Amino acid sequence: MQDILGWIGTGLILYSFTLNDIKKLRIVNAIGSVAWILYGIKTNIMPTIFVNVCVLCIHLHWLYKNSNKSKGVIKRGSEWPD
């Protein structure tokens, strides 16, 4: 079971980087981080828990800060939406 959590987290994080919508990327990546946090708890690997809690907090902060803005689609030739 614990390996499945790790693989689900890995798959979600890798998939998130294929998304053009930055909001969807952060949501999917955050869900992957939650899976990795659960994996870290099950295997008692503190560095995994720590880094993914940090990543999750960063994503949640960004989502909260940008909750009332329009879609954040990344267009070719631009790094980040305004």
Cα separation, 80 vs 71, in Å, equals: 12
Q: Where are the domains of the chain?
A: 2-65
pTM of the model: 0.79
Give the tens place of pLDDT for each residue, 16-57.
999 999 999 999 999 999 999 999 999 999 999 999 999 999
Q: Which residues contact 52 (CB under 8 A, 6 or more apart)?
A: 9, 33, 34, 36, 37, 40
Residue 13: other Cβ atoms inside 10 A: 19
pLDDT at 79 over 70: no
